[in-house]
Amino acid sequence: MKKIFLSALIAAGLAGRLCAASAEDSRIFTPFFDMTLSEAAFLPSEGNIFSGGNMNTQVGLLAKATRKDHLFGLYNFNYSGQGFTPQDSKQFTDRSMSHGFNIEYRRVLTDRIRIRPGLSLNREYRRTGANEVWKNGLYNMNSFGGQLAADYTFNEEKNGYVTVQYLFRNVKFPNYTDLLREFQNAGNTAETSGGLQDQAMGQISLRPSWNRFFAGLTYTVQNYKNQRVVANTGVYGDDKQRDSDTALDFGFHHSLWIFELSPMVSYTMHSSNQNFMLYKFLGDTSPQFGEKYYDFKELALSVPLDLNITGKWAVGGALGLQRRAYDKRSARDTDNNFTSAKQVNTMTTLTASIRKRINEVAMVRLFGSFIVADSNNKFEKYLPYNYTGKSFGIAYQLSY
């Protein structure tokens, strides 16, 4: 579920990048290049030092066939390495790598309205700390789909526009299998547990932007093709799993004197009809039932601030906060028993950094972060919920 939601966000992000690229009036072809790279060392309060990084490369070409007809192709390579992650998401050592291909046709209808139909193909590889071959990742994912977006410009002077977009994806997990079901049906050689994560995803969004302020309302639905909802008897019923997310976000990027501020806040409501059975050990005959186990509300806040002390150098800081409160999921004690309190996870990050602009298209940043992860869930055999950590690293960005 989280992986798909992430993909949806990536898709939405890509759409934003696609929208941002614009043609130079005098050229038929305009290239687009954006590369960001960061590498950091991580010191968790429990466990040993490790390193990890993120890399994102976008290369594209905008072709202006006529004054009103444009075609934009984009390849996106993304790598997400080891690192501290919010609770209930993934292990520190999990990594992912994806290749995305997008092509978008842009048609200018009037001076104020433009439509953008497009196609998207994405292949994502995942690997764990076991370092399995990329192609063998249990959660490897292929997706294919399309989009239809419309932009309405209401204020040219302040770059004010509204984008309405619908996108859909057919998502497949070719390697995914339910290991528990395979174990329980060891005598059955036929493939019975594949395709459980396969799904159709749809997303509709409304995004206004004006004078470097932006906001968004996004609704995402994931309809699972094979995964069914588990009942309180521990048996899968007839209903198929269906998840949805409603997300609101707001932010801006403005400078005042030497201060450069780009805060962003988002609020997500996740809903799923899936339940959960808690087996404390293999063969547990009295498992505990968790109804609507995956529903939550999540608030994410990010406040980066840079102080431009010279034309090239800036010192900065950032505060990040992510708080997830589950609607019905109970927290667990250290012995893996449900408690009476609903689970709440919080992750706070404080970052200090130095940024140097190399020229108008490139910059480098040295950063150090302090992180506190806190939860009332005390069962941490498989995923860490309560820890502190430090990280320090370097980041580059080159964008044209």
**76: Cα within 13 Å, side-chain hemisphere:** 23
**Angle 61-64-68 from CA coordinates, rounded to 5°:** 135
Question: Shortest Cβ distance from residue 354 to other proteins (Å)?
Answer: 5
CA 188 to CA 182: how far, in whole Å? 8
The nearest distance, CB 348 to other proteins, in angstroms, is: 12
Rounded to whole angstroms, how far apart are CA atoms 323 and 319? 13
Instruction: Kindly state the smallest distance separating residue 127's Cβ from other proteins, in Å.
Output: 9
Nearer to other proteins, 59 or 344 (CB): 59
Q: Is there binding between residue 43 and other proteins (CB under 8 A)?
A: yes
What does the buried/exposed string (b/e) look like for 282-320 if buried means 16 or more CB atoms within 10 Å of the residue's CB? eeeeeebebebbbbbebebebebebebeeeeebebebeb
Q: How far is the CB of 309 from other proteins (least distance, A)?
A: 7
Closest CA to 119 of 18, 5, 1: 18
CB atoms within 10 A of CB 19: 20
Q: CB under 8 A: which stretch of 25-33, 189-197, 229-237, 331-339 binds other proteins?
A: 25-33
Of 1, 39, 85, 323, which lies in the binding site for other proteins, with binding defined by CB under 8 A?
Answer: 39
> With left for phi above 0 and alpha for psi between -120 and 50, is residue 131 left, alpha or beta?
left
Q: Which of 59, 108, 138, 200 binds other proteins (CB under 8 A)?
A: 59
Query: Could you tell me whether strands 387-399 and 113-127 are parallel, antiparallel, or unpaired per DSSP bridges?
Result: unpaired
What is the distance between the terminal CA atoms of the chain, rounded to a whole angstrom?
A: 34
| 5-13, 73-81, 288-296, 335-343 -> range binding other proteins (CB under 8 A) | 73-81
Query: What is the rounded distance in angstroms from the CA atom of residue 379 to the CA atom of residue 382?
Result: 8
Q: State which of positions 301-360 bind other proteins (CB under 8 A).
A: 309-310, 313, 315, 352-354, 358-360
Binding residues among 3-22 for other proteins as defined by CB under 8 A: none
Q: Which amino acid would we find at residue 22?
A: S
Neighbours of 93 (CB within 10 A): 16
Q: Which residues, 6+ apart, have CB-to-CB distance to 101 below 8 Å?
A: 73, 74, 75, 76, 120, 121, 122
Count residues binding other proteins (CB under 8 A): 50
Q: Which residues pair with 102 in a beta bridge?
A: 74, 120
Stretch touching other proteins by CB under 8 A, among 102-110, 185-193, 258-266, 362-370: 362-370
Rule CB under 8 A: is residue 48 a binding residue for other proteins?
yes
- For the bound state, the minimum distance from the C-beta of residue 334 to other proteins, rounded and expressed in Å, comes to 20
| Near other proteins by CB under 8 A: residue from 57, 153, 170, 308 | 57
Residue-level length of the chain: 400
Q: Report in angstroms how near the CB of residue 63 gets to other proteins at its nearest.
A: 13
- By beta-carbon proximity to other proteins, the closer residue of 33 and 154 is 33
Q: How far is the CB of 96 from other proteins (least distance, A)?
A: 11
Rounded to whole angstroms, the Cα distance separating 245 from 146 reads: 19
Among positions 371-400, residues that touch other proteins (CB under 8 A) are 371, 388-390, 392, 394, 396, 398, 400
Q: Which residue has the tokens 């799993």?
A: 241
Residues 93-112 that bind other proteins (CB under 8 A): 95, 97
Among 368, 374, 376, 383, indicate the residue that binds other proteins (CB under 8 A): 368
Amino acid at 134: W
DSSP category for residue 135: G
| Identity of the residue, 51 or 232, whose beta carbon is nearer to other proteins in the bound complex | 51
Near other proteins in 117-176, by CB under 8 A: 125, 131, 134-135
Number of Cβ within 10 Å of residue 32's Cβ equals: 19
Q: Does residue 259 bind other proteins (CB under 8 A)? A: no
Q: Which stretch binds other proteins (CB under 8 A): 163-171, 235-243, 252-260, 361-369?
A: 361-369
Per DSSP, 263 falls in state: -
Q: Fill in the DSSP letter of residue 7.
A: H
Of the two residues 38 and 275, which places its CB atom closer to other proteins in the complex?
38
Residues that bind other proteins (CB under 8 A): 30-31, 33, 35, 37, 39, 43-45, 48-49, 51-53, 55, 57, 59, 77, 79, 81, 95, 97, 125, 131, 134-135, 309-310, 313, 315, 352-354, 358-362, 366, 368, 370-371, 388-390, 392, 394, 396, 398, 400
